[in-house]
Structure 1
Amino acid sequence: MDTINDTRCSHPSDEQMLNKLACIDHEECGACLSAASHCRWCADPYYSSAAPRCNDDQSLVQSGCSQGLIQRPAFPVWEVLANDSLQDVSAESLEHVVQIQPQKIRLSLKPRETIKVKFSFRPAKNYPLDLYYLMDLTWSMKDDKDTLVSLGDALTVTLKNLTDNFRVGFGSFADKPLMPYTSVDAKRKANPCAMEEHACQPTYNYRHHLSLTTKVKDFIENVNNSAVTANLDNAEAQLDALVQAIACEERVGWSPHSRKIVILLTDGSVHTAGDGKLGGATLRNDGECHLDDYGYYADSIIFDYPSLAQVYRLLDNYKVNVIFAVTDSVKSYYDSLHGLLEDFTYVAKLESDSSNILKLVKMGYEDIVSVVDFEDDSGDGPVKVHYFTDCGVKGGSYIEATRCTGVEYGMTLNYEAHLTLDACPEYKTMTQMIRISENQLGQDSLQLEVEVQCGCECEGDQLKDLSLTCPVNSHLVCGVCQCNKGWSGPSCDCSIEDAAASAALEAQCRAPNASRPLACSGAGDCVCGRCQCDRGFSGRYCQCASCDRSVENGMECGGVGRGICICGQCACEEGWSGLACDCPAATNACVPPGGGDVCSGHGDCVCGECQCTASEESGEKYSGMFCETCATCENPLCANAEPCVGCHLNKTCDDLCTIGALNYTVNDLKSGDISCILRQERSGQECEYKYTYTAGTSSMVAMEIVIRSIECYQPTSARIMTSALVIMACVVAAGLVVILGVKSAQIVSDRRAYAKFLKEAEESRKNMQELNPLYISPISEFRMPEAYNRDKVD
């Protein structure tokens, strides 16, 4: 590869030959223009069949192609169609809010090309909030309903602190009124709470009580008027209720321009898809609205419970977030559920009587709004999108990510969407519409109208006035007869489905003078005299393997502007080299931050990286990203960052030192990080700030500084005095401990001896009171027999 590059530089004729090789092998206009930026196609139907139709401008003109019929690549397109400024919610219009800028762009992409689209996002203040309370009204939650009723004005104050524009709604759920979820006994059906000696409402699945409204009093009144019910098992119909609350957007009153949150209060687990079949609800849940005139989910006895996948799709489609406010007994269960619905759910611990519900609303809301995550609908289209963002850090580096956390109102997040067209899916011009939107909201979006420039203008009816007779089963396309679908061969008389006819044309699939006489070089199939190459091979006889891809962007030969693939080898553009044309000839990346010699004068810049050499004096090899230091010498580049670090620590920086982003974080060292130590005296202590810095990756930042550790200690004399005092204190403390230990041992020993003495004295007194075994008492004792009849005597 190096030989090819050197030859191109020294022999202009060879460069022209390479340009021709990149073009002449293509037999269709779209493939020709996509091969390289200098390739042109002759659409003249009377052009000499012996000369290649795909070539450079000069060669086509010299071969007799009419100038007016030479097809050239389309001009690039870039047009901003809508670019309203970022705007917060105004009192005059709640819907006229702009959080993303710009809003619509029309652009074009060529194969192997990447285009960067910059846009900004800023969360709007006072963005409308639709909050729907979805409450478990089974018997075990009766106290929680009373707590919600008692909130009154406190609910209004809490929501006002979140946003001035809010609405609240209310719905409740229990379970399907089917066995085995509820009792089929007539008395129990009429009063499911009979076992509790209390009257309650018959079991229902879900009921919508109050549509979203700004009147909090109506909300409290509806909660107060709602009645509890009961079921048999501990699992409820949360997912049934959630689907109806989301899908019935007109009944609930969801606004198209609002942040939609459902707060679901429960102390039970969840019934999921398949459970409903036990009770006879066999139809698959359709995710549609099925509320009757009274707000009940009337078809719950027909449709099964929804699956988690269905719930996730609904939350994504309608952009609804759910706060699971659950009791401690089931929190671990909902934590697992949150793992499957992570993008749209938040789990919080609910007190047994729901006394902390307002706190959970505030915490859940703040957690949801602090996350910004972008998505797009590029899907299976040919254009792929990658995102880079600074996550609102002023002067920060761009990292590849769609999600940012810790976002606050007033922060502007800058994004770059990298649109890449790796290859043409078909050789025709098409338009792909891409919608980039924030994952949690979806109302504001950036619309990209991407023109995929893979075709030619001559593919339509532009040349219909030129009379040229084409064979049967073919039609005129860009000056040549192109076979209709299903036909192939030089005369388009070979049916692709006809295997026998295809075999007769197999000789046309063998390269002349090939060392291996295999059809299509063994890397493809011969169909009607033409090779259909396997993936990774190209050329008329599939003789060319794919070229190397750049590690940086993954594109063949580095993509447009770096090089082109010519039969397995990359022909690099001026300023690039390497097997994949990913080595820049410029040496900017090898110059240390703050300026200086390339590789600090101690190495060579090869492919954008320094290859260090050894010192002529000591023979020791230099190291570092810029060959700036060795084992026995100080890093001279630390002096570039030291003033900036110092002034940031002292908060005395002026405009001349706004060159870095200072982050008090501890990260793993990366290649290219330059380690330094800054010593400063602060508050009577000597402090060591160990930090690293690298060259800035953002155009706004010259160097990126990361302080990794801070160690502060007193000056040497003070440290000696402190150490002496500490040692003396330790000696005194140790002496006191020994004295206390000895004294304690003596006390314990004395107490044991005294207890022994008392015990022996007690035993002695006891023995003195007992009779001597040799002593005979002078007292005689007689007893009357029990059988003697005492009544007669009396």
Structure 2
Amino acid sequence: MYPFLCMVLLLVSSTEAAVDCNSASTCTECISLPYSCFWCYTPGLARCLSPQDKDSCSTSLSSYSSAINEINELPISDQNQVSLKSVSLKLRVNESIDIKVSVKASNDYPLDLYILMDLSTSFGPDLVNVKNIAPQLPLSLQNVSSGFKIGFGAFVDKPILPFTSNQQLMYDPHPSFAIPFSYEHIVSLTNSSDLFNSKLQDIKGSTNVDIPEGTLDAMLQAVVCDDVIEWREDSRKILLVMTDAVLHTAGDGSLAGIVKPNDGLCHTEYDESTNRTLYTASLLQDYPSLELVKMVLTDNDVVPVFAVAGNSNIFALYNESVSPLLNGFAVKLENDSSNLIPVLIESYYKVVANAQLSFNLPDHISATVRANCSDYLPQRRECVEIGNETVEFTMSVSLRECTQELRDNKSADIIVTIPGFSQFLIKVSGYCSCECESQSTRGSTECSKNGNLTCGLCNCDEGWGGSTCSCSTSLQCPVGLNGKTCNGRGTCECGECHCNNVNSAELSDTTGVDSPLIYGAACECSNYECLTDGNGVVCSGEGDCQCYNGTYECLCAVSALTGERRTGEWCQCSTDHCIDPDANNQTLLCSGNGTCSPCEPKGQACTCNDLYSGPYCEESTFVSGTLLGSCDNSVRDCVICYGEAARSESENSSISCDSSSCDNFALLTSSPSDEYIIPGSLPNSNTDCSFISGECQYTYIAGRRPDGEDLYAVPPRICLPIPIWAIVTILLVLIILLGIGILIAIKCCCMYLDYKKCKKSVKIVPLKENETQCTKNHAITMTLIQNVALS
């Protein structure tokens, strides 16, 4: 290998993506799958195999891998700037080939420069300077390339309103302007300075009406008319466009009724009557689009350079928009073109300064480009300012899919252009069919003489079926519940359903079933169609999916903790949900302090008893500073007994309360206080309770021990000093006496009023007997009152 010679490496792209090779039923389908599936064509074993299974069919294996069929390369030299001329690839789907190509700018490489000048009215003064500079142009090019050629052409616009008009020329007997034209080729590429200069001196400017020019019409013709311009094959091709105006693009022709799209072909011909070479289809078809011009520039390896005069806005348009779209450059031209020679030199060095890979790909082919240069622009696939450096591009080409053209053994041609350097060709064909498919054995014994053997598979004659064509198709396979043979999930062979394989990788990720399987006489069952949890996992991942005649049910697993089988339609219920994973005793449900609801989610399945909390009732609500004891009416009998016992103890007598139900009671011989703590109880866990029984009040203090048992402390009972019945009797007597007193008072008042009335009547009728009677009645009444009071 020469230094800098193109190096080509075959790299099979690696990926972790899972591909089910078993899904392919023919050899063509198998090799169309990516990542190296292999076809085994052994009769009886014919199938598509994954790389790990290929050893099972080592003697009859079709293996197709992307490869380089042919390569044409040359060493880098002053006459050759690109190391690769052509390469032929045969690709398998999604297997890439890496092509490495070296590029270096030659110091004295053949140069073809074609100058395309705007001859509209606004560019008239520039034409005078160009004619003056013309003799010097070839001499200046000798400094950059000894093998140069230079040519010249001009353009204005389509010779029709509203683009141009020749009315002013019709009345001028000695016109100083030429009749408007679209594009005129004036000088073919030549190294003769005299020819170039003489031809240039004879040209005239022209006129136009609107501001934009027909630049793209002229550019396309100057590139595609190879026989007219005489571009050389091995040369650096530069198209220098001199202008001071914007350009017309596709669609603008409709202003003059020209709507036919530009065909991108050469229509520039020599006219003997005028002795001029002109673009003849200017009025027949529209302006080309920028995309079309870019395509022909790329295909013909021509680099456009726009030498722009006029205001800064025009230059900005070409520098920032037009040039990048066409993979070209823009340079600033003085308003009178007086700096044309420096612009030519600058244009040349701009072209050779950057190396860029430019190509168009069909939809079924993809490519990526890398480079080892110091300043690389990945979006443009361009190495910038390479100078004398040799740069190396690595182009990875891959086939996305097999098209019909590739299946018909046709190749796709890709022209890769490195503007200003050269181009190379990539021919891409594909492994889109198996050779064994064209080699069929009719009436093969491997097919029971009832079919043809192709790539190890039997294609059975009508009326026969099975892998070896040994079964009559009259045998019917069972019909599934959906009314389809083999439930639509299998193939019928010899009256039996052979259920389809399942994409294990895809289903195991979504259902949680490690080995998905379809089975049953009619392929009516599977082990992955039972009910699932919220994440889509079959039987919650805690059981096996069972199928009986198309009816699915989860067979739940047994808990390793409790020994109990999980329950629920999708095994979502388990007493494991009630076991505290951090507890020492992992068989105690809800820590023994609550009830378990196994169908609730883990951490939510325990309903805690009073005074307990937490997801597993593991937390006591005995909190320091909180009264945790509670009053309980069920202990009244024990409290009464202990209250009597406490009283008798203070009176030096003895009462026993030894009942087993009163074990948690203690005696207090003094009244309880707020600071009193029952021995053995939690701090601050006591509360006062009391009730009345008979003539006595009983008080007790309730507390709680650390183990959860209640404690009770009972002080002596408190009884009244007078019996209740005596108090009631006294109250009744007092009430009766009070009533009698009230009645006597009322009677006295009435008698006194009667006496006063009697005395008043005596004054009116003064009879002595009447006064005596009043006094007598009053005395009798008072005597009665006294007797009642004494009694």
Please give the TM-score of this superposition, normalised by the length of structure 2: 0.51
Pairwise CA distance, 1:276: 2.6
Q: 1:258 aligns with which of 213, 216, 235?
A: 235
**Counterpart for residue 612 of structure 1:** none
Which structure is richer in relative contact order (CA contacts within 8 A, separation 6 or more)? 1
Q: Which letter maps to 2:61?
A: Q
Pairwise CA distance, 1:127: 1.8
Q: Which letter maps to 1:545?
A: E
Q: 1:346 aligns with which of 318, 325, 329?
A: 329
Residue deviations 1:648-680 (CA, integer Å, cap 9, x gap): xxxxxxxxxxxxxxxxxxxxxxxxxxxxxxxxx
SS class of match (1:100):
coil
Q: Structure 1: any 5+ residue segments left out of the alignment?
A: 1-19, 90-97, 495-499, 513-528, 532-538, 549-567, 569-794
Is residue 444 of structure 2 the alignment partner of residue 461 of structure 1? no
Contact 1:136 1:174 in 2 (8 A): yes
Pairwise CA distance, 1:30: 4.6
**Inter-partner Cα distance in structure 1 for 2:490 and 2:85:** 53
Is residue 263 of structure 2 the alignment partner of residue 286 of structure 1? yes
Is residue 61 of structure 2 the alignment partner of residue 71 of structure 1? yes
SS class of match (1:296):
strand
Could you say which structure has the larger radius of gyration? 2
SS class of match (1:161):
coil
SS class of match (2:133):
coil
Pairwise CA distance, 1:299: 3.2
Q: Which letter maps to 2:76?
A: L
Alignment of 1:412-423 (within 5 A): 412-420=390-398
Q: 1:165 to 1:422 in 2, by over 3 A?
A: same
**Inter-partner Cα distance in structure 1 for 2:34 and 2:285:** 58
Q: 1:428 to 1:29 in 2, by over 3 A?
A: farther
> Percent identical across equivalent pairs?
27
**Counterpart for residue 236 of structure 1:** 213
Q: 2:308 aligns with which of 326, 330, 341?
A: 326
**Counterpart for residue 626 of structure 1:** none
**Inter-partner Cα distance in structure 2 for 1:231 and 1:111:** 55
**Inter-partner Cα distance in structure 1 for 2:209 and 2:377:** 55
**Counterpart for residue 200 of structure 1:** 177
Pairwise CA distance, 1:431: 7.5
**Inter-partner Cα distance in structure 1 for 2:370 and 2:150:** 37
**Inter-partner Cα distance in structure 2 for 1:153 and 1:239:** 28
Is residue 82 of structure 2 the alignment partner of residue 82 of structure 1? no
Contact 1:370 1:405 in 2 (8 A): yes
Q: Which letter maps to 2:123?
A: M
Pairwise CA distance, 1:133: 1.6
**Counterpart for residue 190 of structure 1:** 170
Alignment of 1:23-42 (within 5 A): 26-31=24-29, 41-42=39-40
Is residue 422 of structure 2 the alignment partner of residue 440 of structure 1? no
Pairwise CA distance, 1:110: 4.9
SS class of match (2:342):
helix
Contact 1:269 1:330 in 2 (8 A): no
**Inter-partner Cα distance in structure 2 for 1:489 and 1:191:** 93
Q: Which letter maps to 2:506?
A: A
Alignment of 1:111-260 (within 5 A): 113-183=95-165, 185=167, 188-190=168-170, 199-260=176-237
Contact 2:298 2:358 in 1 (8 A): no
Contact 2:135 2:197 in 1 (8 A): no
**Inter-partner Cα distance in structure 2 for 1:113 and 1:320:** 33
Residue deviations 1:67-93 (CA, integer Å, cap 9, x gap): 86x22424775566434322212xxxx
Residue deviations 1:357-412 (CA, integer Å, cap 9, x gap): 11111112211221211144552335x32222112x5xx9998972111022x321
Q: Which letter maps to 1:223?
A: L
**Inter-partner Cα distance in structure 1 for 2:128 and 2:336:** 9
Contact 1:191 1:202 in 2 (8 A): no
Contact 1:80 1:106 in 2 (8 A): yes
Is residue 254 of structure 2 the alignment partner of residue 271 of structure 1? no
SS class of match (2:159):
coil
Residue deviations 1:573-629 (CA, integer Å, cap 9, x gap): xxxxxxxxxxxxxxxxxxxxxxxxxxxxxxxxxxxxxxxxxxxxxxxxxxxxxxxxx
Q: Which letter maps to 1:82?
A: N
Pairwise CA distance, 1:135: 1.4
Q: 1:363 aligns with which of 346, 352, 356?
A: 346
Q: 1:333 to 1:361 in 2, by over 3 A?
A: closer
SS class of match (1:328):
coil
Please give the TM-score of this superposition, normalised by the length of structure 1: 0.51
Tell which deviates more after alignment, 425-434 or 149-158.
425-434
**Counterpart for residue 371 of structure 2:** 389
Contact 1:182 1:203 in 2 (8 A): yes
Q: 1:413 to 1:442 in 2, by over 3 A?
A: closer
Is residue 272 of structure 2 the alignment partner of residue 295 of structure 1? no
**Counterpart for residue 292 of structure 2:** 310
**Inter-partner Cα distance in structure 2 for 1:282 and 1:262:** 28
**Counterpart for residue 43 of structure 1:** 41
SS class of match (2:136):
helix
Contact 1:511 1:541 in 2 (8 A): no
**Inter-partner Cα distance in structure 1 for 2:92 and 2:61:** 15
Q: 1:470 to 1:297 in 2, by over 3 A?
A: farther
Pairwise CA distance, 1:219: 1.6
Q: 1:245 to 1:493 in 2, by over 3 A?
A: farther
**Inter-partner Cα distance in structure 2 for 1:205 and 1:77:** 49
**Inter-partner Cα distance in structure 2 for 1:354 and 1:298:** 29
- Root mean square deviation, CA, Å: 4.8
**Inter-partner Cα distance in structure 1 for 2:415 and 2:508:** 33
Pairwise CA distance, 1:337: 7.5
Q: 1:171 to 1:53 in 2, by over 3 A?
A: closer
**Counterpart for residue 620 of structure 2:** none
Q: Structure 2: any 5+ residue segments left out of the alignment?
A: 1-17, 474-478, 492-496, 510-527, 529-791
Contact 1:269 1:333 in 2 (8 A): no
**Counterpart for residue 666 of structure 2:** none
Q: Which letter maps to 1:305?
A: Y
Alignment of 1:683-722 (within 5 A): none
Q: Which letter maps to 1:219?
A: F
Q: How many aligned residue pairs are there? A: 471
SS class of match (2:178):
coil
Contact 2:376 2:384 in 1 (8 A): no
Pairwise CA distance, 1:147: 0.7
Pairwise CA distance, 1:208: 1.3
**Inter-partner Cα distance in structure 1 for 2:36 and 2:164:** 76
Q: Which letter maps to 1:133?
A: I
Residue deviations 1:297-322 (CA, integer Å, cap 9, x gap): 23323333223232222222222222
Q: 1:86 to 1:330 in 2, by over 3 A?
A: same
**Inter-partner Cα distance in structure 2 for 1:412 and 1:173:** 39
Q: Which letter maps to 1:27?
A: S
**Inter-partner Cα distance in structure 1 for 2:19 and 2:139:** 74
**Counterpart for residue 618 of structure 1:** none
Alignment of 1:768-783 (within 5 A): none
Q: Which letter maps to 1:190?
A: M
Q: 1:297 to 1:543 in 2, by over 3 A?
A: same
**Counterpart for residue 703 of structure 1:** none
**Inter-partner Cα distance in structure 2 for 1:375 and 1:156:** 30
Is residue 381 of structure 2 the alignment partner of residue 402 of structure 1? yes
Residue deviations 1:141-185 (CA, integer Å, cap 9, x gap): 222111111114432332112211111111122222222233464
Q: 1:547 to 1:372 in 2, by over 3 A?
A: farther
